[in-house]
Amino acid sequence: MRCTIGVVPFTSRQIGPCFAAEVEGLDLRQPLSPADVAAIHAAMDAYGVLVFHDQHLTDEQHLVFSRSLGELEDSYGNNLREADEYRLPTTFADVSNLDKNQQVLALDDRRRLFAIGNRLWHSDSSFKIVPAKYSLLRALAIPSKGGDTEYADMCAAYDALDDETKHLAEDLICEHSQIYSRLQLGFTDFTETERERFKPVRQRLVRVHPSTGRKSLFLASHAGQIVGWPTAEAMGFLKDLIEHATQRQFVYAHAWRVGDLVMWDNRRTMHRGRPFPPGEPRDVRRTTLVGEGPTADQAA
């Protein structure tokens, strides 16, 4: 796809099997005009994941670019860091393995173990009543090997379901919590305060994208219940759906380079991080845009 941003044309070249594109000819450090912003949203609607190489943004430029596309989500309380343990302002989700003194977290540090939840397929903030729209992740330091981020196209996965499964899934409501994803890793070490903070929220299983009108599966490892279903049956069904949706023909794997910024639409993709040598720093920082609203009715 060829778009014109201001006077400078930028190109998006598809790099994934059915989605995901690399964008060239755009300097994200420069202010964007309303037409530029519209072209970026259009590219997001077309591809779901956009990769921008060699951007080397500062935190401030990352925030300015993100805010030009929508309202930012605050990340406070989304992890196990205490209030005085944050390395970054909460306009960022700190997806790194670093403490506030830039030291790599110890192997048995519960903040690190909790963050291993990012290696399970998920959609950002599906554990919030209003789940995320876009995520914008930028790499400042990457390990010597591993540490890719993989993305799955949940529209293509939905389209490929048989009619019976589409019908079964259509009106189901799931309950999402970061406790459920961690339970799958055998991580159950939560305080009472944390359990209260991570209370489940409801999300539709099938959602319609507000700008493309396409249906997708709104899945995440945070989903631990289907309303009205026995837990074991719900988990069996959700695991089957995740297995279906993450077959290689629906997946793009991003191998990071320092200076990359990758932006994805959480309303129609899932993603997961891949392992890397735990003693090496991996500094990746994410801004997140809030979605349009809840996907399901629930008590506030």
Among Mn ion, ligand OGA, none, residue 126 binds (CB under 5-8 Å by kind): none
Q: Which is nearer to Mn ion, 93 or 161 (CB)?
A: 93
Residue 110 beta carbon to ligand OGA: minimum distance, rounded to whole angstroms:
18
Residue 233 beta carbon to Mn ion: minimum distance, rounded to whole angstroms:
27
Q: Does 124 interact with Mn ion (rule: CB under 5 A)?
A: yes
Q: Does 131 interact with ligand OGA (rule: CB under 6 A)?
A: no
For ligand OGA, which residue of 32, 95, 235, 261 counts as binding (CB under 6 A)?
A: 95
Cα–Cα distance, 149 to 262 (Å, whole number): 10
b/e for 142-173, b at 16 or more Cβ within 10 A? Answer: bbeeebebbbbbbbbbbebbeeebeeebeebb
Q: Does 273 interact with ligand OGA (rule: CB under 6 A)?
A: yes
Q: Does 215 interact with ligand OGA (rule: CB under 6 A)?
A: no
Among Mn ion, ligand OGA, none, residue 174 binds (CB under 5-8 Å by kind): none
Q: Which residue has the tokens 């993305």?
A: 151
Write the secondary structure of 208-277 as one string of H (helix), E (strand) and C (coil). ECCCCCCEEECCCCCEEEECCCCHHHHHHHHHHHHHHHCCHHHEEEECCCCCCEEEEECCCEEEEECCCC
Q: Does 285 interact with ligand OGA (rule: CB under 6 A)?
A: no
Task: Compute how many residues bind ligand OGA; rule: CB under 6 A.
Answer: 10
Residue 117 beta carbon to Mn ion: minimum distance, rounded to whole angstroms:
9
CA separation (Å) from 49 to 59, 91, 99, 154, 191?
A: 21, 21, 29, 12, 36
For ligand OGA, which residue of 66, 135, 269, 287 counts as binding (CB under 6 A)?
A: 135
Determine the straight-line distance between the first and last CA of the chain, rounded to whole angstroms: 42
Within residues 214-233, the interface with Mn ion by CB under 5 A covers: none
Q: Does 118 interact with ligand OGA (rule: CB under 6 A)?
A: yes
**Residue in the shown chain whose Cβ atom is closest to Mn ion:** 124
Pairing outcome for strands 21-24 and 49-52:
parallel
Residue 294 beta carbon to Mn ion: minimum distance, rounded to whole angstroms:
20
Q: Does 284 interact with ligand OGA (rule: CB under 6 A)?
A: yes
Q: Which is nearer to Mn ion, 124 or 283 (CB)?
A: 124
CA separation (Å) from 266 to 31, 140, 219?
A: 25, 22, 10
Q: Does 271 interact with ligand OGA (rule: CB under 6 A)?
A: yes
Q: Which is nearer to ligand OGA, 147 or 234 (CB)?
A: 147
User: Binding mask 27-66 vs ligand OGA (x if CB under 6 A, - otherwise)?
Assistant: ----------------------------------------
Cα–Cα distance, 178 to 114 (Å, whole number): 9
Q: Does 125 interact with ligand OGA (rule: CB under 6 A)?
A: no
Residues with Cβ < 8 Å from 173, sequence gap 6 or more?
A: 202, 203, 204, 205, 226, 227, 296
Q: Which residues of the shown chain bind ligand OGA in the complex (CB under 6 A)? A: 95, 118, 124, 135, 137, 149, 271, 273, 284, 286
- Can you give the binding site for Mn ion, defined by CB under 5 A? 124
